[in-house]
Structure 1
Amino acid sequence: MAHVPVPGEHSPSPDPAPVDTHCPYCSLQCGMALRPVPPGGPGGGTDGPGGGTDGRPGGVEVVERTAFPVNRGALCGKGRTAPAVLSSRVRLTEPLVRRPDTGRLEPATWEEALDRIAEGLESTGRAYGRDAVGVFGGGGLTNEKAYALGKFARVVLGTSQIDYNGRFCMSSAAAAHQRAFGLDRGLPFPLADVSRTGCVILVGSNLAETMPPALRYLTELKEAGGRLIVVDPRRTRTAEQADLHLAPRPGTDLALALGLLHLVVAEGRVDEEFVARRTSGWPEARAAAMAHWPELVERITGVPVPELRKAVTMFCDAESSMVLTARGPEQQSKGTDTVGAWINLCLATGRAGRPLSGYGCLTGQGNGQGGREHGQKADQLPGYRKLDDPAARAHVAAVWGVEPDDLPGPGRSAYELLDALGRDVRALLLMGSNPLVSAPARPMWSPGCGRWTSWRSRTSCSRRPPRSPMWCCRWPSGPRRPGP
């Protein structure tokens, strides 16, 4: 395995070869290469992309990896400055533990920190039961880390209370995919297919700002004569490049999708052979669509009827076409139904399973899909195996060398898990997530009294011994170290 240099190490040669790797941020996982920079050199130290020139140890610089097919060398601002975290002054480089006498986070040895975590988790499980210990993972963990975390929770801790922050990302799309296809498969075709299809409906995504290197696929689509339809309440930079911009009122995406399906039926554009041979439940889906006639959909969504008809014409007249959804339609009260309606549009027109066609979900986090594929979700074992399926439990138990009955059952979802803090869940192990900042309605932690309160029970904390400790494992960065 190639050695990846870190700050403080000296280059083994005057001109070391770049090391191939990936950007750690979004789901594109753009290819990039890193090259060591000597102390005082361009990018070395702590102020540039890999540091600065203030005399501190050298860092690394980003080198384009033009042969990587996803981004072909292109990177957004976050990717180009990713090495800055390696030499940041606030990077966590040693464990910090909160001292009971001062209430402050202070440096500790790894032995002390790990012993404290192990003792806390074990004592909580003994006192309140195994499900009093919760584990909260993240979509930034690699497949291997996600797998190990899920196994650790269920085999070592014996708790069912594990989930991850991907629940706040594309879980609605995952549920819709399971409902429609029996499999959660994010983007089922190569990203390069986007530039080769005839028409793309992009729903609730602003690629120009959230995934800049992916925008080239939409540009190439249009250069090749393809059509782009963007569904977004805002006139985003991505929407400005669309052939047709549908701007529904926020929260009305479901009515919009059903209205388009209504027009597909009314205009005789249903692929009847495909529907009869490859789908089930069409009468119910058709009935839901027929209850959303164009004039009603215009009143609900604000999208004019002529634009609805134009969208259907562009989508159906193309030899191949696809629908791509992102967080916009998914993070709604009826997110699963909304994504399901867009999937039904693809199924009714026979687009699913055809080259350069179908439905896909643009994931957000670096490994949101891998995180649930490998066992971080509350109701899933690795490989999308359901925890309440006896055959799946037996298979995984045999691999792990335990009895099927020893595996816990399904636990709480992420929102429910965080909501149970301080009540049913008395200890929480966090890895690769920061819900105090990113959760939709974040729980509260009071260092002074060492207690969690959920967002449903934000009562004042009386001073008492800690009851709901949290241990964080965050890499590569961590919380700001307390001042002197």
Structure 2
Amino acid sequence: MRDTVTPTHCPYCALQCGMNLTPAPDGRAVEVSERADFPVNRGALCGKGRTAPAVLSSSVRLTSPLVRSEGGALVPASWEEALARVAGGLGRTRAEYGADAVGVFGGGGLTNEKAYSLGKFARVVLGTSQIDYNGRFCMSSAAAAGGRAFGLDRGLPFPLEDVPRTGCVILVGSNPAETMPPSLRYFTELRENGGTLIVVDPRRTKTAEQADLHLAPRPGTDLALALGLLHLVVAEGRTDEAYIRERTSGWEETRAAAMAHWPEYVERITGVPVPELREAVRMFCEPEAAMVLTARGPEQQSKGTDTVGAWINLCLATGRAGRPLSGYGCLTGQGNGQGGREHGQKADQLPGYRKLTDPAARAHVAEVWGVDPDSLPGPGRSAYELLDALGTDIRSLLLMGSNPVVSAPRAAHVEERIRSLDFLAVCDVVLSETAALADVVLPVTQWAEETGTTTNLEGRVLLRRRAITPPEGVRSDLEVMHELAARLGGDRNLEKGFPTDPEEVFEELRRASAGGPADYSGITYRRLAEENGVFWPCPAPTDGPLDAGGPGTGTETGTGVGTGAGAGADPRGADGTGRPGTADG
């Protein structure tokens, strides 16, 4: 119906902007309109969001499975033939070389339901430890630094609407004016409210042009810059000694690293003049509240984890973590980069951010899955290591929602490794550069053709709704895993553990995540349909049914609850403030 409007979310970046979809007059596409009720973008959409329906066109996508012919070309095939070939290829490798000779590679654009099912599929159906996803190329340094400092990997521990209400923001290695345009309003409002914006970027970007202070360090010297700022914080007596004493550990080691980076030395390394260093410290420390937000710039460096850790230490030393309108956050990039790693795509994690090496975590998830905990494989290789092992230790690969021939580090080398595989199966919407190398390509549904949840950069779990019917000949990734589980499971009836209804998958995800750091057990499709997202962790109430829902730790009131390790948590996390790094220029 022309008057049917579906409220949903953009498929692209981690803002997951709200939008409305209305069937186009021809009935074969949708039109995008603003959705002002969603608090993240408040109706604003960038060019990618407004043109997102273009990728739904059947003229630019696959609508039939493709298999490699004897002549070497990819030719159309039935779903039965294609699925049989995938099951045969993966099964032969497993039988001949062992389960870990089969790899699984996912993507940060998959819904939570798909990411969860893919992790379960790898470990239960294939029995392999060799699973990871392209989110490793995004913010893994920030994830490691956040885990080290706070005991938790989370993009923003506060909603974006807190940004205009703080006193100062240091934005490190990010250009939201071009990468996340709807978010720029928050930084504009910050300045309108009397706050200040410091942008750290070697380039004079559109975002840097709007800053009160632009620090332009030489590429690769962000670590020295952060340590130099911390040096000045100490030297000028701006540390929060009570906070450091009561809520952190490792301060003496961190302080020593900072004091080795005196201003003139840092200026020689970074090229940032000493007066600008001093001005940045003044702007950051004088307000009652302040934030540091990092992105790919400092994270994708050879010492990315130490670099992010140094910026976190700046927040901790000044008492800015775990307090209202203050703290450290990471601007996650991919659409579901946050949720995509929370529930099992990462090589070392089980659903709910549980560690695969934790016996209690294994027991909990194994019970939900109906398997023996001892049957679950241990941690496998991380993303690049996995890709680098293709054709040697890993002989076959199932790839879903990624195009590593284009996006992976050392892409030419990765392409060489992919070409050396015994078997490659790809699930994708189009014939990507990686899919063109596959033995089997399976055409799958995409954002407006399926329902599922995503988790944006704030940790806000959202419901992305189906608005149109997918083209004939296309199936969902959940259907693919269901069918492959039936073919690879023998007489174990494993397909029963892989439902094709996304809400049914989410109900199991809730149980599997219950009690974990990323607890979704109090979130339901009903709540997501009625509310503008629910922040995790959101445990189910202890004195009521699981479907009663919980309050969530984040709110739209902008309190900053959940900063660092979560509401009420000690920001020291597992092992203190984080280890300092040393700069070598």
- Normalising by structure 1, report the TM-score: 0.88
Deviation at 1:66, TM superposition (A): 0.9
Give the number of the structure with larger relative contact order, counting CA–CA contacts within 8 Å between residues 6 or more apart: 2
Aligned to 1:70: 40
Q: 1:203 aligns with which of 172, 187, 190?
A: 172
Q: 1:95 aligns with which of 55, 65, 71?
A: 65
Amino acid aligned to 1:397: A
Tell me, what secondary structure is at the counterpart of 1:260?
A: helix
Q: 1:334 aligns with which of 287, 303, 319?
A: 303
Aligned to 1:324: 293
Q: Which protein is bigger by CA-based radius of gyration?
A: 1
Give CA deviations for 1:44-74 in whole Å, capped at 9, x if unaligned: xxxxxxxxxxxxx631100110111100111
Amino acid aligned to 1:193: D
In structure 2, C-alpha distance between the alignment counterparts of 1:140 and 1:195, rounded to whole Å:
29
Matched, 1:131 2:100: yes
Amino acid aligned to 2:141: S
Tell me, what secondary structure is at the counterpart of 1:169?
A: helix
In structure 1, C-alpha distance between the alignment counterparts of 2:262 and 2:413, rounded to whole Å:
46
Matched, 1:183 2:170: no
Tell me, what secondary structure is at the counterpart of 2:291?
A: strand
In structure 1, C-alpha distance between the alignment counterparts of 2:403 and 2:316, rounded to whole Å:
38
Amino acid aligned to 1:204: G
Aligned to 1:473: 427
In structure 1, C-alpha distance between the alignment counterparts of 2:92 and 2:111, rounded to whole Å:
29
In structure 1, C-alpha distance between the alignment counterparts of 2:361 and 2:21, rounded to whole Å:
41
Deviation at 1:468, TM superposition (A): 2.2
Aligned to 2:522: none
Tell me, which stretches of 5 or more residues in structure 1 are unaligned? 1-10, 40-56, 446-451, 456-460
Deviation at 1:443, TM superposition (A): 5.4
Q: Report percent identity of matched pairs.
A: 78
Pairing of 1:6-405 with structure 2 (within 5 A): 11=1, 15-39=2-26, 58-99=28-69, 101-405=70-374
Tell me, what secondary structure is at the counterpart of 1:245?
A: strand
Give CA deviations for 1:3-50 in whole Å, capped at 9, x if unaligned: xxxxxxxx3xxx4231111000000000001101122xxxxxxxxxxx
In structure 2, C-alpha distance between the alignment counterparts of 1:130 and 1:353, rounded to whole Å:
43
Deviation at 1:88, TM superposition (A): 4.9
Give CA deviations for 1:71-117 in whole Å, capped at 9, x if unaligned: 01111111000001111522112211111x22111111111111111
Contact 1:425–1:468 under 8 Å retained in 2 = no
Amino acid aligned to 2:64: E
Contact 2:10–2:52 under 8 Å retained in 1 = yes
- CA separation of 1:292 and 1:259: change in aligned 2, threshold 3 A: same
Tell me, what secondary structure is at the counterpart of 2:59?
A: coil
Q: 1:453 aligns with which of 407, 416, 420?
A: 416
Which is worse superposed, 236-245 or 434-443? 434-443
Contact 2:390–2:421 under 8 Å retained in 1 = no
Tell me, what secondary structure is at the counterpart of 2:411?
A: coil
CA-based RMSD: 1.6
Tell me, which stretches of 5 or more residues in structure 2 are unaligned? 437-585
Give CA deviations for 1:243-287 in whole Å, capped at 9, x if unaligned: 000000000000000000000000000000000000010000000
In structure 2, C-alpha distance between the alignment counterparts of 1:73 and 1:274, rounded to whole Å:
40
Pairing of 1:411-422 with structure 2 (within 5 A): 411-422=380-391
In structure 1, C-alpha distance between the alignment counterparts of 2:151 and 2:86, rounded to whole Å:
39
Aligned to 1:8: none
In structure 1, C-alpha distance between the alignment counterparts of 2:344 and 2:128, rounded to whole Å:
13
Contact 1:91–1:479 under 8 Å retained in 2 = no
Contact 1:378–1:410 under 8 Å retained in 2 = yes
In structure 1, C-alpha distance between the alignment counterparts of 2:416 and 2:395, rounded to whole Å:
11
Contact 1:421–1:468 under 8 Å retained in 2 = no
Give CA deviations for 1:163-214 in whole Å, capped at 9, x if unaligned: 0000100000000000000111111000111111110000000000000000
Aligned to 2:411: 442
In structure 1, C-alpha distance between the alignment counterparts of 2:132 and 2:422, rounded to whole Å:
17
In structure 2, C-alpha distance between the alignment counterparts of 1:88 and 1:220, rounded to whole Å:
41
Deviation at 1:444, TM superposition (A): 5.9
Amino acid aligned to 2:427: C
In structure 2, C-alpha distance between the alignment counterparts of 1:345 and 1:192, rounded to whole Å:
22
Contact 1:150–1:376 under 8 Å retained in 2 = yes
In structure 1, C-alpha distance between the alignment counterparts of 2:412 and 2:426, rounded to whole Å:
15
Contact 2:405–2:412 under 8 Å retained in 1 = yes
Contact 2:100–2:128 under 8 Å retained in 1 = yes
